[in-house]
Amino acid sequence: MKTEHRAGPTPGTPTNAPRGNFMATKQRPLRRLLVPLLLVALIAAACSNSKSDDDGGPSADSGSSGGSGNGGEGVPGVTDDEIRFSAFGTISNNPLGTCVLECYVKGIEAYFAYRNDEGGIHGRDLVLTEPIDDELSKNQQRAIEITTANDTFGAFSATQVANGWSEITKAGMPLYPWNIHPAESTDEAVFGNQGVPCLECPRRVDAYAVKLAEAKKVGILGYGVSENSKQAASASRESIETYSDDIGGAEVGYFNDNIAFGMPNGIGPEVSAMKDAGVDMIIASIDLNGMKTLAQELERQGLGDVPMLHANTYDQAFVKEAGDLFEGDFMFVTFRPFEADAAGSQLDTFKEWMDETGSEITEPAMYGWINADTAYEALEAAGEDFDRAKVIAAANEQLTEYTAGGLVSPIDFSKQHAPPTVDDPAAHSGPYDCGAILQVKDAEFEVVGDAAKPWSCWPSDTFDWSEPEQMNFK
Q: Is the pLDDT of residue 80 over 90?
A: yes
Nearest CA among 171, 197, 172, 194 for reference residue 374: 194
Task: Answer yes or no: is pLDDT of 9 > 60.
Answer: no
Residue 199: pLDDT band with limits 50, 70, 90: confident
How distant is the alpha carbon of residue 430 from its chain centre? Answer: 16
Region 426-438: what's the mean pLDDT? Answer: 94
Average pLDDT over residues 335-340: 97
In the chain the domains, ranked by start, together with CATH numbers, are 4-194+349-398 (3.40.50.2300), 199-333+426-474 (3.40.50.2300)
> CA-to-CA distance for 7 and 30, rounded, in angstroms?
23
Question: What 3-state class would DSSP assign to 44?
Answer: coil
pLDDT at position 54 is: 37
pLDDT given at position 70: 52
Q: State how far the Cα of 455 lies from the Cα of 79, in Å rounded to an integer.
A: 41
Q: Is residue 28 scored above 50 in pLDDT?
A: no
pLDDT value of position 27 = 33
CA distance 29 to 365: 9
Is residue 119 packed enough to be buried (19+ CB in 10 Å), middle (13-18) or exposed (0-12)?
exposed
Binned at pLDDT 50, 70 and 90, residue 99 comes out as: confident
For residue range 353-409, what is the model confidence (pLDDT) as tens digits? 999 999 999 999 999 999 999 999 999 999 999 999 999 999 999 999 999 999 999
- Give the H or E element holding residue 141: helix 139-149
CA distance 162 to 140: 8
For residue 373, the number of C-alpha atoms closer than 13 Å in the C-beta half-sphere is 22
Amino acid in position 378: A
What does the DSSP assignment read for 243-295?
SGGGGTS-EEEEEEEEEPTT-TT-SHHHHHHHHHHT--EEEEES-HHHHHHHH
The pLDDT of 282-301, averaged and rounded, is 95
Identify which has the larger pLDDT, 427 or 54. Answer: 427
Q: % helix / strand / coil in the chain, to the nearest 5?
A: 30, 20, 50
Does residue 140 come out as left (phi exceeding 0), alpha (psi in the -120 to 50 range) or beta? alpha
Is residue 343 helix, strand or coil?
Answer: coil
Residue percentage of the chain with pLDDT more than 70: 85
Q: Is the pLDDT of residue 35 over 70?
A: no
pLDDT of residue 19: 28
Query: Is residue 446 within 8 Å of residue 474, measured between CB atoms?
Result: no
Beta strands 125-129 and 82-89 are: parallel
Provide the pLDDT for residue 41: 33
Using 50, 70 and 90 to split pLDDT, how confident is the model at 29? very low
Packing angle of the helix pair 363-382, 347-356 (nearest 10 deg): 110
Is 70 exceeded by the pLDDT of residue 200? yes
CA separation, residue 377 to residues 55, 172, 357, 372, 383 (Å): 24, 18, 22, 9, 10
What's the pLDDT score for residue 312? 85
What is the rounded radius of gyration, in angstroms, for the C-alpha atoms of the chain? 22
Q: Give me the mean pLDDT over the 433-438 stretch.
A: 95
Instruction: Quote the CA–CA distance of 350 and 402 in Å, as a whole number.
Output: 17
Q: Does residue 39 have a pLDDT over 50?
A: no
Residue 26 pLDDT > 70? no
Cβ atoms within 10 Å, residue 10 = 11
Provide the β-strand partners of residue 132.
88
Q: Is the pTM of this model over 0.75?
A: yes
How far apart CA 274 and CA 256 sit, in angstroms, is 10
Q: Is the pLDDT of residue 239 over 80?
A: yes
CB count in 10 Å sphere of residue 61: 14
Average pLDDT of the residues of the chain: 87
pLDDT above 80 for 81: yes
Confidence of residue 226 (pLDDT cuts 50, 70, 90): confident
User: What number of CA atoms fall less than 13 Å from residue 436's CA on the CB side?
Assistant: 27
Between 94 and 310, where is the model more confident? 310
CA 292 to chain centre: 22
User: How much of the chain exceeds pLDDT 90, in percent?
Assistant: 77
Is pLDDT at 423 greater than 70 in this prediction? yes
Where helices occur in 56-99 by DSSP H, the ranges are: none
Got the DSSP string for 145-211? Answer: HHHHH--SSEEEEE-S--TTHHHHHHTT--EEE----GGG--STTB--SSPPP-SSS--HHHHHHHH
Give the separation between CA 140 and CA 143, rounded to whole angstroms.
5
